[in-house]
C-alpha cells in the first residue's frame, strides 16, 4: 500500500465536500490529508470547459486534493465512486482521469 493523491474538480456548493468525505468513510477508505480551495485561475482547466461546453466563473468551482493510502486494486473503485457524486466534475489519480463519466488513460488534473 502506498500513499496516492487524488485531485477533484467539483462544484463549490454547500455540502459537496461533505459528500466526498462521507464517501471515504462509508466505503471504508482512510483520508491522510485533504486540501480544498476555490479555483480562481481557470487557465489549467480550460480543457474541462471546452469538453463540457461550459464557462466557469470565479467562486463556482473548487479544487480538492486528497491523499489516501489504499491497495492499488481499490484505487479504481475509489475513482469510480467519486466520479458518481453528482457535484464532482472531474477526478484524477496518478494514472487516469474521469471527466464526468468518461475515463481517460492519463492524469489531466
Partner 1 sequence: MKLAGNDMLIQSLINEGVEYIFGYPGGAALHIYDSIFKQSEMQHILVRHEQGATHAADGYARATGKPGVVMVTSGPGATNAITGIATAFMDSIPMVVISGQVQSHLIGTDAFQETDMIGISRPIVKHSFTVDHQSNIPQIVKEAFHIATSGRQGPVVIDIPKDLTNPDDLFDYEYPEEVNIRSYNPPVKPEATQIERVVDAIFNSKKPVIYAGGGTISSNASKELIELNSYINVPVTNTLMGLGVYPATDDKFLGMLGMHGTYQANMAMHNADLILAIGARFDDRITNTPEKFAPRAQIVHFDVDHSSVSKIIEADIAVFGQVKDSLQAINELIKDRLSELDTTKFDQWHAQISKWKSEHGLNHNLYKDNSDENPILPQAAVQHIYQESKGKAFVTSDVGQHQMFAAQYYHFDEPRKWINSGGLGTMGFGLPSAMGVKLAYPDEEVICITGEGSIQMCIQELSTCSQYKLPIKIFNINNLALGMVKQWQDMNYDGRHSSISYEDSLPDFKELVESYGHVGIKITKNSDLKKGIEEAFSIKDKLVFVDIYVDPNEHVYPMLVAPNGSLKDMWLAKGSKT
Closest approach, Cβ 66 to partner 1, in A, equals 17
Closest approach, Cβ 52 to partner 1, in A, equals 5
Closest approach, Cβ 15 to partner 1, in A, equals 6
Select 56 or 66, whichever has its Cβ closest to partner 1: 56
User: From CA 93, how far away is CA 8, in angstroms rounded?
Assistant: 9
User: From CA 11, how far away is CA 57, in angstroms rounded?
Assistant: 11
Measured CA to CA in angstroms, residue 39 lies from 26, 45, 55, 67, 96 at distances of 27, 10, 13, 19, 21
Closest approach, Cβ 91 to partner 1, in A, equals 11
Select 35 or 76, whichever has its Cβ closest to partner 1: 76
Footprint of partner 1 on this chain (CB under 8 A)?
Answer: 10-11, 14-15, 18-19, 22, 26, 52, 54, 76-77, 80-81, 83-84, 86-89, 98, 100-101, 103
Select 1 or 18, whichever has its Cβ closest to partner 1: 18
Buried b (16+ CB within 10 A) or exposed e, 75-107: beebbebbbebebbbbbbbeebbbbeeeeeeee
Amino acid at each position: 500500500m502506498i500513499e496516492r493523491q487524488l485531485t477533484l474538480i467539483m462544484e463549490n456548493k454547500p455540502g459537496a465536500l461533505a459528500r466526498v468525505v462521507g464517501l471515504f468513510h462509508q466505503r471504508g477508505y482512510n483520508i491522510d490529508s485533504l486540501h480544498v480551495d476555490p479555483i480562481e485561475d481557470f487557465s489549467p482547466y480550460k480543457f474541462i470547459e471546452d469538453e463540457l461546453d461550459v464557462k466557469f466563473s470565479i467562486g463556482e468551482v473548487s479544487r480538492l486534493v486528497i491523499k489516501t493510502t489504499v491497495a492499488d486494486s481499490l484505487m479504481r473503485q475509489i475513482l469510480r465512486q467519486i466520479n458518481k457524486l453528482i457535484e464532482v466534475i472531474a477526478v484524477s489519480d496518478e494514472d487516469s482521469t474521469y471527466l464526468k463519466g468518461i475515463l481517460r488513460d492519463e492524469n489531466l488534473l
